[in-house]
C-alpha cells in the first residue's frame, strides 16, 4: 500500500490533539486505557450522564503536558454530545494570559464561551446584570463598546453584536477581555473592578446565562450543559506576593468559587497540585471531595524492568494508524517497513519515548524531517542523542542524583521533587492494575551523566 508521506507527516504533528469530530482524525485514535490502570474518561462521562445527570458536577483532570489530555477531553465531548448533552469545550490559553490569571478572568472566559455557543443555537438570553457589569468595566477602561454593529473579535471572528436594543454577551465580554489579555495595565485595572464583584458575577452567570440556557436546551430535547475548560493546567506556577503560588491561589484558595457554576464542569488543573500539602483542601473546595483524575503515561516497561508488551503494541499502533488509517490494525504491522527499516527500530522509538505521546510524535517528526522513509535505525539514534543532549543541558549535578534515586525507588515525594523532576519532564508517572510508579524519562538514561 502506497504511503502518503505528506499526510503522515501532518498526522504526526506533536502539537495537535486528535479531534474525534473529524472523521479522518478519529482513525488515529488509540485507546490506551487498558494499560493506564483505569478508564478515566468513562468515569467522568458516567458521573455526568448517569450518576449526577440532574445536578451540577465539578470534576478535575490532570497529567503531564503532552500526555494526551486534550485528545481525551475531545473524545469526552464527542461521547457526551452523542448522549444528548450540549458541550462547550475550549482551550483557556486562547482567552487568558496564563502567567497572570485571577478567578474573575476565568469566570468571564467561561461566560463568553458559553454565551457564544448558546447564541449560535438562536437561544435568546437577557443578561441585564451582565450588561450593567460590562458597562461599568467599559467606563473604567474608557472603552466604548458598540453593541449595535457586527464586529470581529480575536479568536471569535465575525459576531453580530446586537440590533434594536439586543445585547450580545459574548461580544461584550470579548471586547473587554481581548484588551485585558494584551495589556498588563488594562488587566490590573479590570481586575480591581471585577474581583470585589466576583459573587455578583457568579450570580449573573448562573441566573442570566446557565440556568436559562439549560432550560432552553432541555426544551429542545438536550440532556443538559457541560463545560470543559482545557489547558488551565498550564497556569504559570509563579509565586505571588502573598507567598502562595498562582495554582494554589486559584484552585485551592478560590476553588469554591470556580465550583459554584450551575452546570457540569470539567477543569484541567496543574499536576503539581496533586503533590501539594493542600491537596486535601483542593479536593474539598473544588473537587467536591472527589480526587482529581490523573492521566499517566503509556508504559512500555513495567516497574520491575520487564517489557510491557501490551503498552508497546498500542504505541506501535499509534504510529501505524497515522501512516495507514484505513488499514485494519492487525494488518498494519505487516506494513511497518514502509516507515522504518525494521520493527526493532519502531519498538526502539516506542520504548525511548517513555510512553509520552507528544515525546514519541516529536521524535518521529524529527526523523521524517531529516530524510526519506523508511527511517533507518541510525537516523533514529541520531535524533535520540540530539534530544538527550537538549534535556541534559538543563540538569544540575544534584538533580542527576535525584534521577538515579527515582530509577532505584520508582517513587517521587513532595512538591519540591515534583518541581525539579516531573515539571521538567525528567520523570514520568505510570499506573496499572497493580498500582502506580515513577521512572526517569528513558532518553535521559542514555546520558553519560546518568550512567556515571
Overall number of domains in the chain: 2
Among candidate residues 279, 295, 311, the one where a domain is terminated: 295
Among candidate residues 265, 295, 325, the one where a domain is terminated: 295
Q: Quick check: is 170 in a domain? A: yes
* The pLDDT value given to residue 148: 42
- 3-state class (DSSP) for residue 85: strand
**Cβ atoms within 10 Å of 357's Cβ, excluding its own:** 24
The whole-angstrom separation of Cα 193 and Cα 300 is: 51
The answer to whether the CB of 414 falls within 8 A of the CB of 441 is no
Q: Does 10 share its domain with 89?
A: no
Among candidate residues 236, 265, 295, the one where a domain is terminated: 295
Alpha helices, DSSP H only, in 51-98?
Answer: 69-82
Question: Residue 348, class by beta-carbon neighbours within 10 Å (0-12 exposed, 13-18 middle, 19+ buried)?
Answer: middle
Q: Does 12 share its domain with 46?
A: no
Which of 49-63, 117-131, 137-151 reaches the highest mean pLDDT? 49-63
Q: Does 353 share its domain with 244?
A: no
Q: pLDDT tens digit string along 304-316?
A: 889 999 999 999 9
The whole-angstrom separation of Cα 213 and Cα 206 is: 10
Mean pLDDT over 358-370 rounds to 96
- 3-state class (DSSP) for residue 151: strand
Give, as one character, the DSSP assignment of residue 412: -
Whether residue 326 has pLDDT greater than 70: yes
Q: Does 254 share its domain with 320?
A: no
The answer to whether the CB of 225 falls within 8 A of the CB of 73 is no
Mean pLDDT over 342-357 rounds to 97
The whole-angstrom separation of Cα 20 and Cα 79 is: 9
The answer to whether the CB of 103 falls within 8 A of the CB of 249 is no
Q: Does 248 share its domain with 284?
A: yes
Q: Does 277 share its domain with 302?
A: no
Q: pLDDT tens digit string along 162-216?
A: 433 456 788 888 888 887 888 888 888 888 899 999 999 999 999 999 999 999 9
Which of 86, 89, 67, 63 is CA-nearest to residue 272?
Answer: 63
Q: pLDDT tens digit string along 6-25?
A: 999 999 999 999 999 999 99
Whether residue 156 has pLDDT greater than 60: no
| pLDDT band at 147; cut points 50, 70, 90 | very low
End-to-end CA gap in the chain: 46
Question: Which pairing describes strands 293-295 and 57-63: parallel, antiparallel, or unpaired?
Answer: parallel
Q: Give me the count of residues in the chain.
A: 452
* The pLDDT value given to residue 221: 95
Q: Outline where DSSP puts E strands in 220-276.
A: 224-230, 264-268
Mean pLDDT over 369-395 rounds to 95
Q: Does 315 share its domain with 394?
A: yes
Phi, psi (deg, nearest 5) at residue 374: -75, 155
Whether residue 143 has pLDDT greater than 70: no
Q: Does 159 share its domain with 206?
A: yes
Whether residue 241 has pLDDT greater than 70: yes
pTM over 0.85: yes
The whole-angstrom separation of Cα 35 and Cα 13 is: 24
Whether residue 129 has pLDDT greater than 60: yes
Q: Does 339 share its domain with 283?
A: no
The whole-angstrom separation of Cα 383 and Cα 100 is: 36
* The pLDDT value given to residue 44: 97
Q: Which residue has the higher pLDDT, 45 or 435?
A: 45
Mention every residue, 6+ apart, whose C-beta is less than 8 A from residue 247: 235, 237, 269, 270, 272, 273
Q: Does 4 share its domain with 77?
A: no
Residue-range definition of the domain harbouring residue 93: 38-295
Place of cell 448522549: 83
The answer to whether the CB of 85 falls within 8 A of the CB of 57 is no
* The pLDDT value given to residue 435: 85
Whether residue 284 has pLDDT greater than 50: yes
Whether residue 318 has pLDDT greater than 70: yes
Amino acid at each position: 500500500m502506497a504511503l502518503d508521506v505528506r499526510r503522515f507527516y501532518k498526522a504526526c504533528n506533536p502539537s495537535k490533539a486528535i479531534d474525534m469530530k473529524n472523521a479522518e482524525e478519529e482513525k488515529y485514535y488509540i485507546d490506551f486505557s487498558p494499560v493506564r490502570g483505569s478508564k478515566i474518561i468513562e468515569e467522568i462521562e458516567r458521573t455526568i450522564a448517569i450518576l449526577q445527570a440532574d445536578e451540577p458536577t465539578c470534576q478535575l483532570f490532570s497529567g503531564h503536558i503532552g500526555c494526551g489530555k486534550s485528545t481525551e477531553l475531545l473524545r469526552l465531548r464527542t461521547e457526551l454530545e452523542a448522549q444528548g448533552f450540549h458541550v462547550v469545550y475550549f482551550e483557556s490559553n486562547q482567552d487568558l494570559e496564563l502567567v497572570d490569571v485571577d478567578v474573575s478572568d476565568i469566570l468571564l472566559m467561561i461566560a463568553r464561551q458559553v454565551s457564544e455557543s448558546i447564541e449560535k443555537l438562536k437561544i435568546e438570553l437577557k443578561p441585564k446584570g451582565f450588561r450593567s457589569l460590562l458597562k461599568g468595566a467599559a467606563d473604567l477602561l474608557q472603552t466604548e463598546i458598540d453593541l449595535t454593529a457586527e464586529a470581529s473579535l480575536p479568536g471569535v471572528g465575525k459576531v453580530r453584536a446586537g440590533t434594536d436594543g439586543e445585547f450580545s454577551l459574548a461580544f461584550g465580554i470579548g471586547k473587554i477581555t481581548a484588551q485585558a489579555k494584551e495589556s498588563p495595565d488594562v488587566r490590573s485595572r479590570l481586575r480591581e473592578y471585577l474581583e470585589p464583584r466576583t459573587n455578583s458575577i457568579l450570580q449573573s452567570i448562573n441566573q442570566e446565562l446557565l440556568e436559562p440556557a439549560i432550560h432552553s436546551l432541555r426544551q429542545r430535547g438536550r440532556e443538559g450543559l457541560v463545560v470543559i475548560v482545557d489547558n488551565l493546567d498550564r497556569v504559570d506556577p509563579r509565586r505571588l506576593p502573598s507567598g502562595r503560588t498562582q495554582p494554589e491561589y486559584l484552585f485551592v484558595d478560590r476553588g469554591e468559587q470556580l465550583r459554584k457554576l450551575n452546570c457540569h464542569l470539567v477543569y484541567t488543573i496543574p499536576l503539581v497540585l496533586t503533590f501539594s500539602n493542600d491537596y486535601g483542601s483542593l479536593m474539598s473546595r473544588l473537587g467536591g471531595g472527589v480526587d482529581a483524575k490523573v492521566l499517566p503515561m503509556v508504559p512500555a516497561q513495567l516497574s520491575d524492568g520487564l517489557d510491557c508488551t501490551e503498552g508497546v503494541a498500542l504505541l506501535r499502533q499509534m504510529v501505524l494508524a497515522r501512516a495507514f488509517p484505513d488499514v485494519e490494525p492487525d494488518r498494519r504491522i505487516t506494513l511497518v517497513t514502509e516507515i522504518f527499516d525494521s520493527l526493532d527500530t519502531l519498538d526502539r522509538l516506542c520504548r525511548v519515548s517513555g510512553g509520552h505521546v507528544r515525546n514519541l510524535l516529536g521524535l518521529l517528526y524529527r526523523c521524517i524531517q531529516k530524510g526519506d522513509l523508511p527511517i533507518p535505525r541510525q537516523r533514529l539514534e541520531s535524533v535520540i542523542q540530539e534530544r538527550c543532549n537538549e534535556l541534559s543541558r538543563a540538569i544540575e549535578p544534584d538533580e542527576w542524583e535525584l534521577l538515579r534515586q527515582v530509577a532505584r525507588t520508582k517513587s517521587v515525594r513532595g512538591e519540591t521533587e515534583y518541581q525539579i523532576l516531573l515539571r521538567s519532564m525528567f520523570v514520568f508517572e505510570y499506573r496499572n492494575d497493580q498500582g502506580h510508579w515513577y521512572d526517569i524519562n528513558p532518553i535521559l538514561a542514555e546520558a553519560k551523566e546518568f550512567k556515571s
